[in-house]
């Protein structure tokens, strides 16, 4: 009787599992990124692929195409919207043309540290931003870290805010980035990233701004002598899936994708932070001179940037900016009153 009961139980479990298994079909997701295969972003995508495979019995497959082989952030995001590419991980600034409120994440000197960014992006504020994407043909699966951006140059050490005066710095082709560095006294020069190394090598520009992982991976230390830990902006990536792809998945498949994305998000943040710490040490070994702005100079920088913050807070949405400041106040323990 006991064996019979065990047999019935096994049959019942198999019957219950069958519908779930039937909801998982074979899917291959092409994931395009602009960075190289050895960058932490690509490593995290490989981890995402491993999680997908493990949770789906090998039926959900993610294949990573690195080094811009499928296009740049803008073109790949467009391909997702059109349904010709399944996934990509662009910088959040790429999405501003589709959903303006994403721009508030790049407002200068907004986040004090990575933990604040995690809390805000994983909390109601970040989820509200992601919820604006489906109407644009995109599904946001989470925020990944690019990191705090720092300035490098080939001319002189930057030890004070005023030391940026007159430096010709390449920035991404964004009005916010242009205004930010012009307000700091630099000569902001928009330029595609692919042209940057050569421009610095030929002294067409004095320097640029990016997180440590990018500075190291792109070998900017070969053509740049000075790095200041300015932390002037925080950059986040957004793990995206095409809505057309998402809508073609069963509820069980969607759940697996979400679970794998969440685990990969934690992995990515841990990986890039460890890499960034190592990157600074490696940049020193490579001969870069690294300085850090004292608190008083950071405050001077903040004062210079107040008009820029005010201008773009309006452009990206004053309500959204206020919500962000309220969330930051909560995270910092000051409550809503501290955000005023």
Percentage of residues in the chain with pLDDT exceeding 90? 83
Report d(CA 35, CA 37) in Å as an integer.
7
Domain count, the chain: 1
Q: Centre a 10 Å sphere on the Cβ of residue 17 and count the other Cβ atoms it contains.
A: 10
Does residue 40 contact residue 265 with C-beta atoms inside 8 Å? no
| Alpha helices, H only, 222-291 | 243-247, 251-285
Range of the domain at 330: 2-339
Does residue 236 contact residue 146 with C-beta atoms inside 8 Å? yes
Summarize pLDDT for 134-191 with one digit per residue, the tens. Answer: 999 999 999 999 999 999 999 999 999 999 999 999 998 889 999 999 999 999 999 8
Report d(CA 156, CA 159) in Å as an integer.
9
Apex 184 CA angle, 112 and 340, nearest 5: 45
Report d(CA 151, CA 229) in Å as an integer.
7
- The Cα-based distances of 330 to 102, 118, 122, 123, 334 in angstroms read 20, 13, 14, 11, 6
- List, in sequence order, every residue forming a beta bridge with 171; answer none if it has no partner: 190
Summarize pLDDT for 125-136 with one digit per residue, the tens. Answer: 999 999 999 999
Tell whether pTM > 0.85: yes
* Sign of the CA dihedral running 218, 219, 223, 229: positive
Average pLDDT over residues 226-254: 97
Residue 18 pLDDT greater than 50, yes or no: no
Summarize pLDDT for 312-337 with one digit per residue, the tens. Answer: 999 999 999 999 999 999 999 865 44
Report d(CA 340, CA 326) in Å as an integer.
8
Residue 89 pLDDT greater than 70, yes or no: yes
Report d(CA 328, CA 112) in Å as an integer.
10
Confidence of residue 5 (pLDDT cuts 50, 70, 90): low
Average pLDDT over residues 38-56: 96
Average pLDDT over residues 190-215: 93
pLDDT score at 334: 60
Residue 20 pLDDT greater than 70, yes or no: no
Confidence of residue 68 (pLDDT cuts 50, 70, 90): confident
Q: What is the 3-state secondary structure (H, E, C) of 168-191?
A: EEEECCCHHHHHHHHHCCCEEEEC
Is 165 strand, coil or helix? coil
Residue 1 pLDDT greater than 60, yes or no: no
Report d(CA 290, CA 158) in Å as an integer.
9
Average pLDDT over residues 272-286: 94
CATH number at residue 277: 3.40.190.170
Report d(CA 294, CA 158) in Å as an integer.
11
């Amino acid at each position: 009787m006991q064996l019979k009961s065990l047999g019935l139980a096994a049959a019942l479990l198999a019957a219950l599992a069958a519908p779930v298994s039937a909801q998982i079909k074979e899917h291959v997701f092409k994931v395009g990124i602009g960075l190289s295969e050895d960058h932490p972003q690509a490593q995290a995508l490989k981890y995402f692929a491993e999680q997908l495979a493990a949770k789906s019995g090998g039926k959900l497959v993610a294949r990573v195409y690195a080094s811009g082989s499928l296009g740049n952030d803008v073109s790949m995001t467009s391909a997702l919207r059109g349904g010709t590419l399944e996934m990509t991980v662009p910088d959040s600034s790429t999405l501003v043309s589709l959903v303006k409120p994403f721009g508030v994440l790049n407002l200068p000197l907004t986040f004090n540290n990575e933990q604040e960014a995690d809390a805000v992006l994983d909390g109601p504020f970040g989820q509200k931003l992601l919820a604006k994407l489906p109407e644009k043909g995109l599904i946001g699966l989470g925020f990944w870290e690019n990191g705090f951006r720092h300035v490098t140059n080939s001319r002189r050490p930057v030890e004070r805010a005023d030391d940026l005066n007159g430096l010709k710095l390449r920035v991404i082709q964004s009005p916010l980035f242009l205004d930010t560095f012009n307000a700091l006294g630099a000569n902001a020069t928009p330029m595609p990233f692919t042209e940057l190394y050569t421009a610095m090598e030929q002294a067409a520009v004095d320097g640029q701004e990016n997180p440590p992982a990018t500075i190291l991976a792109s070998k900017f230390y070969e053509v740049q002598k000075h790095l200041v830990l300015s932390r002037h902006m925080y950059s986040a990536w957004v793990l995206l899936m095409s809505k057309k792809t998402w809508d073609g998945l069963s509820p069980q498949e969607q759940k697996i994708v979400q679970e794998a994305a969440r685990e990969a998000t934690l992995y990515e943040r841990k990986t890039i932070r460890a890499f960034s710490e190592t990157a600074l040490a490696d940049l020193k070994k490579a001969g870069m001179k690294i300085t850090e702005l004292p608190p008083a100079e950071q405050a001077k920088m903040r004062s210079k940037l107040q008009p820029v913050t005010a201008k773009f807070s309006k452009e990206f949405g004053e309500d959204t900016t206020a919500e962000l400041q309220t969330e930051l106040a909560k995270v910092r323990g000051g409550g809503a009153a501290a955000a005023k």
